[in-house]
Structure 1
C-alpha cells in the first residue's frame, strides 16, 4: 500500500474525535499502564522491606538514582521519537514516521552500549560513595543494579514500542498488556525474593523477565494490526535516521529524570553526612520516593496524552484542538496532585507502615512526606505544559520547565537548607523549588499567550 493511500484509508482518531472523549479514551488507559508499573514498584518495596529487612530496603533505595538514569534514557529515545512521530502521523506521512521509528531503535542500542560500558567502569565506585561506606547496603545494591543495566536494551525497546502505540491511538492495548505483565512481574518477584531467597537481586531478575515478555507481546500486536506502522519499516529503514532531532526533543524530559537522579543523590549524600542512623533515613527516603513515584505516574499519563494530542493536531494544523486539550489536561492534573497532597498530609505514617514495622522508619516517612508535598499541586500542571511545548517542537521552553527544578533549584536548596537546618530542614527544599518554578511557568504562559494560539501549523522545530 502506498503512503498516500494509507493516509486516506486509515482514520486518525486524534483529529476526528471530540476533544473530551479523545482525552479520556487515551489518558485513562495510559494512567492504568503507568500506575500498574508504579504499583509494582510499591509492592516490590513492601516485599523487600517486610520480608528481607531495613538494610535491603536501604540498598534498593540507594539504587534509585541509577534506576532514574535508566528511565531518563528510555524517555530520551521514546519521548523524542514521540514528538516527531505524532506530527508525521497527523500529516499522514507514514513513511517518514516509520523512518523515525527505525532511527529510534538504533539510538536506543547505542545508548544501551554506552550505559553498560559506563556502569562497568564507574558503577561500583559511585555506589560506594552513595552508601557512605556502608558495605552491607552497597554490596546488594551493586548486584541489583548490574542486572537492571544488562537488561537495559529490553527496557528501551519496550519503551519505544509502547510510545509508538500510544501515538497510533492504541492506548487501550498498552493498558491491557501492562496490567498483565505487571501482575506477572509481582508474582515473579515474590517467587524470586521469598521462595528462591535471591534477595533484592531476585527483584531485578523478575523485572527484566517481565519487560522481555512485554516487549514480545507489543511486537505481536504490531505484527497482527495492519493499521499500525509495519515491522518491515523498522527492518528496512536506516537505524541512523533522525538521531539529532530525537535527541533535541527528547533531551529536556530525559534530563529531568537525570535531574531526579541528581536530586536523589544529593539527598542521599546529605543523609550520609547528617543522619546518625544512616540506614533508617535512607530506607525512609526510599519509601517516600516509591510512594511519590506512584503518585507521579498518573500525572505523567495525563502529560503524555497531551503530547500525543498536541503533536497530531499541530501536524494537521488544528491548534484549536491542541489548546482545548491542554486546558482540560491542566485541570485534571491539578485535581490529581491535590489528592496526593491531602493524602500525604493525612496518611504519611500509615503509608510508611506498609513497608516496615520499624517505628523509627515509619516516623521518618511521615516527617519527610509532609514538607515534600506541601506545594505538590503545581507539579502536574507544569509537567502537562512542558509536554505540550515539547510536542509542538519548542525544546527551550520544555527545557526550562523540566530542568530548572531538578538541575538547579532543588539540589542547591537541599545543600543550603541542610547546612542551615540539618536533616529536618532539607525536605523544605522541595516546596520552595515548586514555588519558584510556578513563577517561571506563569511568566511563560502569560508572555507566550499559550491558551489563545492561532490555528496555524507550526514548523516542526520552531524556536522557543
Structure 2
C-alpha cells in the first residue's frame, strides 16, 4: 500500500482531517503572509499611494492566476479519483499533460500582462502616480509568470501524493524568504513598489523549483509520462475547475468594481483603507480555503473508492472547523483591529486609521456565515459536481455582492460598501444549504440502488 493509499483509506477521519488540514492551513497562511508582508512594507516604507496601487492591480494579477487554477484544481480532482480507482496510468497522463498546459498558459499570460499592464490600470481612473506604480508592479509579475504560476498547481499535486508536510515546509520557506527580500529591497535598498513584486516572484520561483524536485526524481506516485488526454477528459477537467476559476475571476471583478465605488465615494484613502482590511482578510480566507482544499483529494479519493461514509465524515469536520475559525476571526477583527491596522500606515494618519477600523469592524461580520460557501463549494467540486460548485462560487463572489452593492451604499453610504460582504454571506449560506440537501438526497438514493443491486445510471 502506497503512502497516499494509507493516508486516504486507513486513517480514522479525525486523524486524516488533521493530518491533511493543519499543514495545508499553515501553508496557505504562509502564502498569504507574503502578500500581507508586501502590504506592510509597501504601506510603511513606500506610502499610501503605493498601497492603493497594489490593491488596484492585485485583482488583475489574481485573474491571471485563476486561469492556471482552472486546470490545476480540475486536474487534481480527476487525478485523485483515478488514484482511488487504482488507475495510476491515467493519473500520470493527466498530471503530465496538465502541467505542460499550465506552463504554456503562463507564458501567454505573461506576454499579455507585460504589454497591456499600463492600459488596463489606466482604465480604473486613479491618479497618475497610483496608475504608474500599479503598472510597474503588474509588469514584474508578468515577467515571472512562466515560473510562478505553476507553483500553486505543483502544491496541489504534492498533497495528492500525500506529501502534505513537504508542501507545508515549502510554503513556509517561500514566505519567509519573501519577508527577508521585502526587508532588503524596501527597507535597506529603498527600491520602491516594483521591488515588492520582485520579492514575491523570486520567492515563488524558488518554491516552484523545489516543488517539482520530488516528481523529477521519481519518488512519488505521480510521474511525468508521454501522451495526451481526450478532449472529453479535458472538458471534464475544465468543468471541475470552473468553480474556482469563476470564483477567482468574479472575486477579482468585484474588487475592481468595489475600488471604483470607493474612489468615487472617498478617493484613494478609502481604497487604501479597504486594502488593509483585505490584507487581514486574506489570512482568514486562506485558512478556510487551505482547510477545504486540503481535504478535497481525500474526499475525491473516497468518492472514487465508493467510501461515502468516510467522505461525509470528512466534510462534517471541514464544516465544524470552518465555523470555529471564522468565529475566532470575527472576535479578533472586532477587538484587535486597532493593534493591526497601524502596521500598514506610514507615520501618523488618524483619518486613515479611523476609516480602516470602521471598515474592518463592519466587514468582519461576514465571518458569521461566510465559511459555508467556501467549505461546500470545495465539497461539490470534490464530488465531481462542477455545476453546483460553479453556481455557488459565482453567486458568492459576484452575483450576491453586486446585488448588495447596488442597494446598500445608496442607503448607508460608505458603510454600505463595508456591509456588502456580510449581506452577501447570508445569501450564499442559504444557497449552499439548499444545494447540500439536494446532493445528500442524491447520494442516499444511489446508496439504496447499490444496496438493492440496481445498476447505476
TM over 0.5: same fold? yes
Which of 59, 62, 65 does residue 65 from structure 1 map onto? Answer: 59
Which residue is equivalent to 2:325? 336
Once structures 1 and 2 are overlaid, which stretch shifts more, 253-262 or 436-445? 436-445
**Per-residue deviation at 1:457?**
11
Indicate how the Cα distance of structure 1 residues 161 and 239 shifts in structure 2: closer, same or farther if over 3 A, else same.
farther
Residue 91 (structure 2) pairs with residue 97 (structure 1): yes
Distance 1:218 1:257 in 2: 23
Residue 248 (structure 2) pairs with residue 257 (structure 1): yes
Which of 12, 23, 26 does residue 18 from structure 1 map onto? Answer: 12
Whether the 8 Å CA contact 2:362–2:415 is kept in 1: the answer is no
Which residue is equivalent to 1:351? 340
Distance 2:95 2:37 in 1: 33
Which residue is equivalent to 2:120? 126
Which residue is equivalent to 1:205? 198
Which of 237, 241, 247 does residue 227 from structure 2 map onto? Answer: 237
Which of 25, 44, 55 does residue 49 from structure 2 map onto? Answer: 55
Indicate how the Cα distance of structure 1 residues 167 and 49 shifts in structure 2: closer, same or farther if over 3 A, else same.
same
Distance 1:148 1:128 in 2: 18
**Per-residue deviation at 1:363?**
1.1
Which residue is equivalent to 1:3? none
Residue 148 (structure 2) pairs with residue 159 (structure 1): no
What is the CA RMSD across the aligned residues, in angstroms? 2.2
Whether the 8 Å CA contact 1:352–1:361 is kept in 2: the answer is no
Whether the 8 Å CA contact 1:410–1:429 is kept in 2: the answer is yes
Which residue is equivalent to 2:212? 219
Q: What secondary structure does 1:388 align onto?
A: helix
Distance 1:11 1:446 in 2: 30
Query: Gapped runs of 5+ residues in structure 1?
Result: 1-6, 459-464
TM-score normalised by the chain length of structure 1: 0.91
Q: What secondary structure does 2:306 align onto?
A: coil
Q: What secondary structure does 1:55 align onto?
A: helix
Residue 345 (structure 2) pairs with residue 366 (structure 1): no
Residue 375 (structure 2) pairs with residue 384 (structure 1): yes
Once structures 1 and 2 are overlaid, which stretch shifts more, 372-381 or 109-118? 109-118
Which residue is equivalent to 2:307? 318
Which of 157, 161, 170 does residue 163 from structure 2 map onto? Answer: 170
Which of 409, 414, 418 does residue 418 from structure 1 map onto? Answer: 409
TM-score normalised by the chain length of structure 2: 0.92
Residue 302 (structure 2) pairs with residue 309 (structure 1): no
Distance 1:266 1:221 in 2: 42
Once structures 1 and 2 are overlaid, which stretch shifts more, 7-16 or 171-180? 7-16
**Per-residue deviation at 1:114?**
3.9
Whether the 8 Å CA contact 1:319–1:457 is kept in 2: the answer is no
Whether the 8 Å CA contact 2:37–2:182 is kept in 1: the answer is no
Distance 2:386 2:443 in 1: 20
**Per-residue deviation at 1:202?**
0.6
How many residues are matched? 446
Distance 1:441 1:70 in 2: 27
Indicate how the Cα distance of structure 1 residues 240 and 350 shifts in structure 2: closer, same or farther if over 3 A, else same.
farther
Distance 1:61 1:170 in 2: 33
Once structures 1 and 2 are overlaid, which stretch shifts more, 9-18 or 444-453? 444-453
**Per-residue deviation at 1:264?**
0.7
Distance 1:187 1:451 in 2: 51
Residue 423 (structure 2) pairs with residue 432 (structure 1): yes
Distance 2:3 2:59 in 1: 46
Distance 1:371 1:9 in 2: 45
1:298-340 per-residue CA deviation (whole Å, 9 max, x = no partner) reads: 1111111221111110111111100000111100010000111
**Per-residue deviation at 1:133?**
3.8
1:336-381 per-residue CA deviation (whole Å, 9 max, x = no partner) reads: 0011111121122322111114211211111111222213132223
Which residue is equivalent to 1:295? 284
Q: What secondary structure does 1:229 align onto?
A: coil
Whether the 8 Å CA contact 1:405–1:433 is kept in 2: the answer is yes
Distance 1:307 1:8 in 2: 19
Which of 398, 401, 404 does residue 389 from structure 2 map onto? Answer: 398
Which of 253, 262, 271 does residue 262 from structure 2 map onto? Answer: 271
Query: Gapped runs of 5+ residues in structure 2?
Result: 451-457
Indicate how the Cα distance of structure 1 residues 48 and 133 shifts in structure 2: closer, same or farther if over 3 A, else same.
closer
Residue 30 (structure 2) pairs with residue 36 (structure 1): yes
Indicate how the Cα distance of structure 1 residues 217 and 156 shifts in structure 2: closer, same or farther if over 3 A, else same.
same
**Per-residue deviation at 1:450?**
6.0
